[in-house]
């Protein structure tokens, strides 16, 4: 159920609706919109009678939500959500460019990459400290030490940090450093982790599961939103299909489909999507053309020596070339790429 308030509803009228919802034992979610406030209700097992709200002061109408994702869907909010990350905004006119190594490997590797991606126009530095790897015998990340390096890289460059959380045990440590917490494809259906991230107020970048449908991705986002963390950014990173010649199949259909179904920002990760550096730039540009709100690109100063995902990492000069083209495509789709990092 969604309670749509009148444009001129007063604060008291909004609070009265929220109190009524709390009195029924349910959770209310205030969703501000450009025209009016909507209040989503979660926690109800059965249907709620709209009449109990329709007669309240300031209420325009109480409407049942047809989709299983109540808060992530366009029913809840018609306008696109813009997620604030300090001085940056994800989901607005400006594209969010997130770049950096797959894993944090050393201070030199991290700071060299950070400086290069910043110069090319990225505002966010990515890098995994805790790596959920397919094999337990491959590099698992620098862990806490990696977080320390990420913190230092932010202090040096002003770039915002996007880093992955692997489990609930390390969530607090990751959240202390991350400006945006990444929940990876392998954890998209880790509901305990999604709920724990929902308790935080740090933005979450949620990647699509390896074999997840778009609806499953939106339902995973719903776990975070339902706990009151409304700052969720979705990420299309490729899905497993019958095609073996690429690591994954980047499902660019997901971008317009998600734009239709949801108000949440959606970014594209062509690095994991295609899994080979030669194809990353083409798919990055295609992602922006498709309407994505940003990109996540793996960049490494020496991909041949990378401890993870080197084969899909761009060298810094290639990332710079890509950014020049991103600027051109951005203009065509009425988006922009700002250069200045504001601290
Ligand atoms: C990553 O971003 O390095 C990563 C592990 O991505 P994904 O979860 O999409 O595989
Ligand atoms: Mn990677």
Tell me the per-residue pLDDT of 69-123, one tens digit each, with 9 for 90 and over.
999 999 999 999 999 999 999 999 999 999 999 999 999 999 999 999 999 999 9
Strand-pair partners of 243: none
pLDDT in tens, 278-335: 999 999 999 999 999 999 999 999 999 999 999 999 999 999 999 999 999 999 999 9
From 34, 63, 92, the end of a domain falls on 63
pLDDT at 47: 86
Domain identity same for 192 and 105: yes
Task: Tell me whether residue 156 is in a domain.
Answer: yes
Is 8 in the same domain as 124?
Answer: no
Query: For residue 298, how far is its CA from the centre of ligand 2 (angstroms)?
Result: 7
Taking the centre of ligand 1 as the mean of its atom positions, its distance from the CA of residue 185, in whole angstroms, is 6
Name the pLDDT band for 343 (thresholds 50, 70, 90). low
Tell me the chain's radius of gyration from C-alpha atoms: 21
Indicate whether 145 and 238 sit together in one domain.
yes
Checking if the pLDDT of 342 tops 70, the result is no
Range of the domain at 171: 83-332
Whether residues 119 and 154 share a domain: the answer is yes
Strands 160-165 and 180-183 come out as parallel
Q: Residue 116 in contact with residue 91, Cβ under 8 Å? A: no
One domain, residues 210 and 148: yes
pLDDT of residue 329: 98
Residue 180 sits in the same domain as residue 283: yes
> Which one of 29, 63, 97 terminates a domain?
63
Instruction: Indicate if 46 and 99 belong to the same structural domain.
Output: no
In a domain, 70, yes or no: no
Q: Token digits for 181?
A: 């917490």
Determine the average pLDDT of the residues in 171-184: 98
Same-domain pairing of 201 and 278: yes
Residue 261 CA: distances (Å) to CA of 54, 68, 74, 113, 194: 26, 11, 6, 36, 21
Using CA atoms, how far apart are residues 287 and 47, in angstroms rounded to an integer?
Answer: 39
Which range among 29-43, 185-199, 298-312 shows the weakest confidence by mean pLDDT?
29-43
Give the number of the atom of ligand 1 that is nearest the alpha carbon of residue 269: 9
In a domain, 173, yes or no: yes
Evaluate whether residue 221 is within a structural domain: yes
Do residue 158 and residue 198 come from a single domain?
yes
Instruction: Provide mean pLDDT across the span 44-55.
Output: 89
Burial 149-169 (b: 16+ CB within 10 A, else e): bbeebbeebbbbbbbbbbeee
Is the pLDDT at 337 greater than 90? The verdict is yes
Is the confidence at residue 340, as pLDDT, over 80?
no
290: domain CATH number is 3.20.20.70
Expressed in angstroms and rounded, the spacing between residue 21 Cα and the centre of ligand 1 is 39
* Same-domain status, 25 and 155: no
In a domain, 222, yes or no: yes
Q: How many domains does the chain have?
A: 2
Percent with pLDDT over 90 in the chain: 93
Q: Record the pTM.
A: 0.96
> Does residue 7 sit within a domain?
yes
pLDDT band, residue 21 (cuts 50/70/90) = very high
In the prediction, which pLDDT does 46 show? 85
pLDDT value, residue 341: 64
Write the DSSP string, 281-309: HHHHHHHHHTT-SEEEEEB-SSGGG-SS-
pLDDT above 70: percentage of residues in the chain: 99
Q: Is the CB of 267 under 6 A from ligand 1?
A: no
Residue nearest (by alpha carbon) to ligand 1 atom 5: 184
Final residue of a structural domain among 63, 95, 114: 63
* One domain for residues 29 and 145: no
Cα gap 200→238, rounded to integer Å: 27
Residue nearest to atom 10 of ligand 1 (CA): 185
For ligand 1, mutation pick of 181, 182, 206, 314 (most atoms within 8 Å of CB): 182
In a domain, 341, yes or no: no
CA of 3 to the centre of ligand 1 (A): 37
Give domain status of residue 219, yes or no.
yes
What CATH number has the domain bearing residue 40? 3.30.70.1140
Q: Do residues 89 and 131 both lie within one domain?
A: yes
Residues 52 and 45: their CA atoms lie apart, in Å, by 17
Residue 89, by phi and psi: left (phi above 0), alpha (psi -120 to 50) or beta?
Answer: beta
The pLDDT mean for the chain works out to 96
């Amino acid at each position: 159920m969604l309670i749509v308030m009148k444009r001129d509803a007063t604060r008291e009228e909004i609070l009265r609706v929220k109190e009524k919802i709390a009195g029924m034992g349910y959770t209310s979610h205030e969703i501000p919109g450009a025209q009016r406030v909507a209040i989503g209700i979660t926690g109800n097992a059965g249907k709620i009678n709209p009449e109990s709200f329709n007669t309240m002061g300031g209420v325009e109408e109480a409407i049942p939500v047809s989709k299983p994702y109540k808060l992530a869907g366009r029913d809840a909010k018609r306008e696109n959500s813009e997620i604030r990350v300090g001085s940056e905004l994800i989901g607005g006119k400006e594209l969010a460019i997130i770049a950096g190594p797959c894993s944090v490997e050393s201070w030199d590797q991290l700071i060299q990459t950070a400086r290069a991606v910043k110069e090319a126009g990225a505002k966010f530095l990515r890098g995994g400290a805790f790596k959920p790897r397919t094999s337990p015998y491959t590099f698992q990340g620098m862990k806490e030490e990696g977080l320390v390096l990420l913190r230092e890289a932010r202090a040096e460059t002003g770039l915002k940090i996007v880093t992955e959380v692997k489990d609930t045990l390390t969530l607090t440590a990751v959240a202390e450093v991350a400006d945006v917490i990444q929940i990876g494809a392998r954890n998209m259906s880790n509901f305990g982790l999604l709920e724990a991230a929902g308790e935080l107020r740090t933005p979450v970048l949620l990647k699509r599961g390896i074999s997840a449908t778009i609806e499953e991705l939106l339902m995973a986002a719903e776990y975070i939103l339902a706990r009151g963390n409304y700052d969720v950014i979705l990420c299309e990173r490729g899905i497993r299909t019958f095609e073996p010649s690429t690591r994954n199949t980047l499902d660019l259909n997901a971008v317009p489909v998600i734009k239709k179904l949801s108000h949440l920002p959606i970014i594209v990760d062509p690095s994991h999507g295609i899994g080979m550096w030669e194809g990353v730039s083409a798919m990055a540009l295609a992602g922006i053309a498709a309407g994505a709100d940003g990109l996540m690109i793996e960049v490494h100063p020496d991909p041949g020596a990378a401890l993870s995902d080197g084969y899909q990492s761009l060298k810094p000069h290639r990332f710079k070339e890509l950014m020049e083209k991103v600027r051109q495509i951005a203009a065509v789709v009425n988006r922009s790429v700002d250069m200045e990092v504001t601290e």
